Amino acid sequence: MPGSPTANGVTVCQDGVRRCSWACSTPDYHGYHDREWGFPVSADTRLFEKLSLEGFQAGLSWLTILRKRDAFREAFAGFDYARVARFSSRDVERLLANADIVRHRGKIEAVINNAKRAVARWPRGFVSLGLNRRTSRNKTLSTSASLTSSGVRSKNLKIRLTPAKRPSHWS
**Residues designated catalytic:** 32, 54, 62
Q: If you ran DSSP here, which 8-state letter would residue 4 be given? A: -
CA distance linking residue 133 with residue 154, whole number of Å = 12
CA distance linking residue 35 with residue 171, whole number of Å = 37
Beta bridge partners of 11: 5, 19
3-state secondary structure 73-125: HHHCHHHCHHHHCCCCHHHHHHHHCCCCCCCCHHHHHHHHHHHHHHHHHCCCC
Beta bridge partners of 20: 10
Residue 154 neighbours by CB distance under 10 Å: 12
